[in-house]
Amino acid sequence: MAGLKSKTKGKSWERDVANFLTKLYGEPFLRVPNSGAFVGGYNIYRTQTMTEQQVKSFKGDIIPGPSFKNLVIECKNYKEFPFHRLAFGQEIKQLDEWIKQAQGSCELGDNWLLCVKITHKTSFVVWDFDKIQCPSTGEYKEYQFDEYSNFWEENSDEVKSACKKTYNPD
Protein backbone atom coordinates (compact mmCIF):
# COMPACT_ATOMS: atom_id res chain seq x y z
CA MET A 1 0.00 0.00 0.00
CA ALA A 2 2.93 2.38 0.72
CA GLY A 3 4.14 2.00 -2.87
CA LEU A 4 0.76 3.06 -4.26
CA LYS A 5 0.63 6.09 -1.96
CA SER A 6 4.13 7.10 -3.06
CA LYS A 7 3.24 6.70 -6.74
CA THR A 8 0.07 8.79 -6.29
CA LYS A 9 2.12 11.50 -4.54
CA GLY A 10 4.59 11.54 -7.44
CA LYS A 11 1.83 11.79 -10.05
CA SER A 12 0.24 14.64 -8.13
CA TRP A 13 3.50 16.63 -8.16
CA GLU A 14 3.94 15.94 -11.88
CA ARG A 15 0.43 17.30 -12.52
CA ASP A 16 1.14 20.35 -10.35
CA VAL A 17 4.32 21.11 -12.33
CA ALA A 18 2.56 20.61 -15.68
CA ASN A 19 -0.36 22.84 -14.64
CA PHE A 20 1.97 25.53 -13.28
CA LEU A 21 4.01 25.61 -16.51
CA THR A 22 0.85 25.63 -18.65
CA LYS A 23 -0.30 28.77 -16.82
CA LEU A 24 3.15 30.35 -16.84
CA TYR A 25 3.81 29.91 -20.56
CA GLY A 26 0.26 29.80 -21.95
CA GLU A 27 0.87 26.54 -23.80
CA PRO A 28 0.07 22.96 -22.85
CA PHE A 29 2.43 21.02 -20.61
CA LEU A 30 1.18 17.52 -19.79
CA ARG A 31 2.13 14.77 -17.40
CA VAL A 32 3.54 11.82 -19.33
CA PRO A 33 1.02 8.97 -19.03
CA ASN A 34 2.51 6.01 -17.19
CA SER A 35 5.70 8.03 -16.70
CA GLY A 36 8.77 6.33 -15.44
CA ALA A 37 11.52 6.84 -18.00
CA PHE A 38 9.76 5.16 -20.91
CA VAL A 39 12.64 6.15 -23.21
CA GLY A 40 15.29 7.14 -20.66
CA GLY A 41 18.10 5.21 -19.03
CA TYR A 42 17.96 1.48 -19.79
CA ASN A 43 14.96 2.03 -22.08
CA ILE A 44 16.82 4.22 -24.59
CA TYR A 45 16.66 1.34 -27.10
CA ARG A 46 12.95 2.09 -27.58
CA THR A 47 13.81 5.30 -29.44
CA GLN A 48 15.17 3.27 -32.38
CA THR A 49 11.65 2.44 -33.59
CA MET A 50 9.91 5.68 -32.63
CA THR A 51 9.37 8.93 -34.53
CA GLU A 52 11.04 12.13 -33.28
CA GLN A 53 7.70 13.40 -31.96
CA GLN A 54 7.02 10.12 -30.12
CA VAL A 55 10.43 10.23 -28.47
CA LYS A 56 9.89 13.85 -27.39
CA SER A 57 6.55 12.90 -25.84
CA PHE A 58 8.07 10.28 -23.56
CA LYS A 59 11.19 12.02 -22.25
CA GLY A 60 11.09 12.76 -18.54
CA ASP A 61 7.87 13.18 -16.59
CA ILE A 62 6.36 16.17 -18.42
CA ILE A 63 5.53 16.62 -22.10
CA PRO A 64 6.63 20.21 -22.70
CA GLY A 65 4.75 22.82 -24.72
CA PRO A 66 5.55 23.24 -28.42
CA SER A 67 8.00 26.12 -27.82
CA PHE A 68 10.23 23.86 -25.74
CA LYS A 69 11.49 21.45 -28.37
CA ASN A 70 14.47 20.19 -26.36
CA LEU A 71 13.33 20.37 -22.72
CA VAL A 72 13.24 17.34 -20.42
CA ILE A 73 11.61 17.74 -17.01
CA GLU A 74 12.02 15.15 -14.29
CA CYS A 75 9.89 15.46 -11.12
CA LYS A 76 10.51 14.03 -7.66
CA ASN A 77 8.27 14.28 -4.59
CA TYR A 78 9.79 12.96 -1.36
CA LYS A 79 9.17 13.24 2.36
CA GLU A 80 12.76 13.87 3.45
CA PHE A 81 15.88 15.46 1.99
CA PRO A 82 19.24 16.18 3.65
CA PHE A 83 19.38 19.96 3.05
CA HIS A 84 22.20 20.32 5.56
CA ARG A 85 24.46 18.43 3.15
CA LEU A 86 23.85 21.10 0.48
CA ALA A 87 24.90 23.80 2.93
CA PHE A 88 28.20 22.04 3.59
CA GLY A 89 28.87 21.07 -0.04
CA GLN A 90 28.61 17.38 0.80
CA GLU A 91 27.63 14.64 -1.63
CA ILE A 92 23.96 13.60 -1.69
CA LYS A 93 23.62 10.20 -3.36
CA GLN A 94 19.85 10.57 -3.72
CA LEU A 95 20.24 13.88 -5.58
CA ASP A 96 23.01 12.38 -7.74
CA GLU A 97 20.64 9.57 -8.72
CA TRP A 98 17.84 12.01 -9.59
CA ILE A 99 20.21 14.11 -11.74
CA LYS A 100 21.45 10.98 -13.46
CA GLN A 101 17.86 9.99 -14.18
CA ALA A 102 17.07 13.42 -15.66
CA GLN A 103 20.20 13.29 -17.82
CA GLY A 104 19.43 9.71 -18.86
CA SER A 105 16.21 10.85 -20.53
CA CYS A 106 18.10 13.37 -22.68
CA GLU A 107 19.50 13.18 -26.16
CA LEU A 108 22.32 15.35 -27.47
CA GLY A 109 21.25 18.99 -27.35
CA ASP A 110 18.48 18.52 -24.77
CA ASN A 111 18.16 20.68 -21.67
CA TRP A 112 16.99 19.09 -18.43
CA LEU A 113 15.37 20.41 -15.29
CA LEU A 114 14.83 18.47 -12.09
CA CYS A 115 11.80 19.73 -10.10
CA VAL A 116 11.88 18.44 -6.53
CA LYS A 117 9.20 18.76 -3.85
CA ILE A 118 10.00 17.89 -0.25
CA THR A 119 6.70 17.41 1.57
CA HIS A 120 5.78 20.19 4.02
CA LYS A 121 9.17 21.88 3.50
CA THR A 122 9.96 23.33 0.08
CA SER A 123 10.30 22.74 -3.63
CA PHE A 124 13.34 23.46 -5.75
CA VAL A 125 14.75 23.16 -9.26
CA VAL A 126 18.15 21.75 -10.23
CA TRP A 127 19.73 22.32 -13.64
CA ASP A 128 22.96 22.28 -15.62
CA PHE A 129 24.25 25.86 -15.86
CA ASP A 130 26.20 25.02 -19.03
CA LYS A 131 22.88 24.36 -20.77
CA ILE A 132 20.52 26.88 -19.13
CA GLN A 133 22.41 29.92 -17.90
CA CYS A 134 20.30 31.32 -15.07
CA PRO A 135 21.34 32.82 -11.74
CA SER A 136 20.83 30.52 -8.78
CA THR A 137 20.68 30.40 -5.01
CA GLY A 138 23.26 27.66 -4.75
CA GLU A 139 25.49 25.10 -6.39
CA TYR A 140 25.74 21.35 -6.04
CA LYS A 141 28.77 19.92 -7.80
CA GLU A 142 28.58 21.39 -11.33
CA TYR A 143 24.82 22.00 -11.09
CA GLN A 144 22.74 24.94 -9.94
CA PHE A 145 19.66 24.96 -7.72
CA ASP A 146 17.04 27.47 -6.66
CA GLU A 147 13.74 27.53 -4.82
CA TYR A 148 10.98 26.45 -7.25
CA SER A 149 8.82 29.61 -7.38
CA ASN A 150 11.82 31.92 -7.41
CA PHE A 151 13.45 29.93 -10.22
CA TRP A 152 10.44 30.30 -12.50
CA GLU A 153 9.78 33.94 -11.51
CA GLU A 154 13.35 34.96 -12.27
CA ASN A 155 14.23 32.65 -15.15
CA SER A 156 11.15 31.73 -17.20
CA ASP A 157 12.38 33.71 -20.23
CA GLU A 158 15.89 32.22 -20.05
CA VAL A 159 14.49 28.69 -19.90
CA LYS A 160 12.28 29.30 -22.92
CA SER A 161 15.15 30.87 -24.86
CA ALA A 162 17.54 28.00 -24.05
CA CYS A 163 14.94 25.44 -25.12
CA LYS A 164 14.37 27.03 -28.53
CA LYS A 165 18.00 26.69 -29.51
CA THR A 166 18.99 23.84 -31.73
CA TYR A 167 22.06 21.80 -30.96
CA ASN A 168 25.19 22.75 -32.87
CA PRO A 169 28.17 20.46 -32.17
CA ASP A 170 30.69 23.11 -33.36
Domain chopping of the chain, boundaries: 2-163
pTM equals 0.84
Q: What is the pLDDT of residue 5?
A: 59
Distance in angstroms (rounded) separating the CA atoms of residues 145 and 98: 13
**103 vs 69 pLDDT, higher one:** 103
Distance in angstroms (rounded) separating the CA atoms of residues 8 and 27: 25
Q: Provide the sign of the torsion angle of the four alpha carbons 39, 41, 47, 51, taken in this order.
A: positive
Q: What is the pLDDT of residue 55?
A: 61
**46 vs 87 pLDDT, higher one:** 87
Mean residue pLDDT of the chain comes to 85
Contact 105, 58 (CB under 8 A): no
Q: What is the pLDDT of residue 38?
A: 61
Question: pLDDT tens digit string along 135-156?
Answer: 888 999 999 999 999 999 999 9
Q: Could you list the beta-strand ranges (E) of 1-157.
A: 30-31, 62-63, 71-78, 111-118, 122-128, 138-140, 143-147
Question: pLDDT tens digit string along 28-85?
Answer: 999 988 655 565 555 667 666 666 666 665 678 999 999 998 899 999 999 999 999 9
Name the pLDDT band for 108 (thresholds 50, 70, 90): confident
Q: What is the pLDDT of residue 128?
A: 92
